């Protein structure tokens, strides 16, 4: 499966010269929600992640997604694994399990995001699960921004990755690309102008 092509086709991965909300520039822009716009695509991607998890032999009872970004990916993964799907959400800045979702003592939970960047939200959701007696047995995402090390990837873990090293992380693809400050941007040096993603009507 060519995951990058699927993202490109969905306009979830744009190539050009972009001005990010941080003010930095990049040759690529990843809008990971776009790839989940088509339920059939979400299903195919989630099934591929589920396959990795099953092959690893990891036993999972429940999938928990940190809202909002992880909701669709988490639900799709839970569907593919035929497991329970719950989500964590921020209440006054703290990731919390609400809405009557219960966690049994020792329940094996995998945290699922659409994309893992440094894993900050995923770790906050993991803490919420563990505070209720659950065990976080893994992390999953459709895409990995390349700071954390997914199972089977040759890329090494970066210092800013917040996921624990002794818990497996499953994802389909590494989306590594450089971010430049405007004064050090090679695309600017080449004479092109950075645009805000979406300003061309997509």
Compute the C-alpha angle 170/75/108, nearest 5°: 60
Of the two residues 133 and 182, which places its CB atom closer to Zn ion in the complex?
A: 182
In the complex, minimum distance from the CB of residue 117 to Zn ion, in angstroms, rounded to a whole number: 21
- Bridge partners (DSSP) of residue 56 are none
Helix (H) or strand (E) holding 173: strand 173-174
Of the two residues 44 and 188, which places its CB atom closer to Zn ion in the complex?
A: 188
- Bridge partners (DSSP) of residue 108 are 135
Of the two residues 9 and 15, which places its CB atom closer to Zn ion in the complex?
A: 15
In the complex, minimum distance from the CB of residue 198 to Zn ion, in angstroms, rounded to a whole number: 17
| Distance between CA atoms of residues 9 and 35, nearest Å | 8
In the complex, minimum distance from the CB of residue 190 to Zn ion, in angstroms, rounded to a whole number: 9
CB closest to Zn ion, residue no: 185
In the complex, minimum distance from the CB of residue 15 to Zn ion, in angstroms, rounded to a whole number: 14
- List helix spans (H) across the chain: 3-9, 39-56, 71-81, 120-131, 186-189
Q: Enumerate binding residues for Zn ion (CB under 5 A).
A: 25, 185, 187-188, 194
Helix (H) or strand (E) holding 29: strand 25-30
Of the two residues 48 and 185, which places its CB atom closer to Zn ion in the complex?
A: 185
User: CA dihedral defined by 145, 149, 151, 153, rounded to 10 degrees?
Assistant: 80
In the complex, minimum distance from the CB of residue 179 to Zn ion, in angstroms, rounded to a whole number: 10
| 105 torsion bin: left (phi>0), alpha (psi -120 to 50), beta (else) | beta
Of the two residues 133 and 186, which places its CB atom closer to Zn ion in the complex?
A: 186
């Amino acid at each position: 499966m060519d995951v990058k092509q699927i993202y490109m086709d969905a306009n979830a991965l744009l190539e050009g010269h972009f001005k990010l909300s941080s003010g930095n520039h990049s040759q690529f822009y990843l809008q990971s929600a776009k790839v989940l716009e088509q339920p059939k695509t979400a299903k195919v991607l989630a099934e591929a992640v589920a396959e990795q998890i099953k092959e690893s032999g990891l036993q999972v009872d429940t999938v928990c997604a940190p809202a909002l970004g992880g909701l669709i990916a988490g639900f799709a993964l839970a569907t593919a694994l035929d497991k329970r799907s719950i989500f964590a959400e921020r209440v006054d800045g703290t990731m919390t399990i609400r809405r009557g979702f219960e966690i049994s003592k020792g329940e094996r939970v995998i945290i699922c995001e659409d994309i893992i960047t440094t894993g900050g939200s995923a770790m906050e959701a993991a803490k919420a699960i563990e505070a209720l007696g659950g065990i976080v047995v893994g992390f999953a995402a459709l895409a990995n921004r390349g700071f954390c090390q997914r199972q089977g990837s040759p890329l090494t873990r970066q210092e800013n990755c917040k996921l624990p090293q002794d818990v497996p992380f499953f994802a389909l693809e590494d989306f590594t690309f450089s971010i430049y400050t405007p004064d050090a941007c090679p695309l600017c040096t080449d004479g092109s102008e950075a645009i805000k993603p979406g300003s061309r009507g997509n």
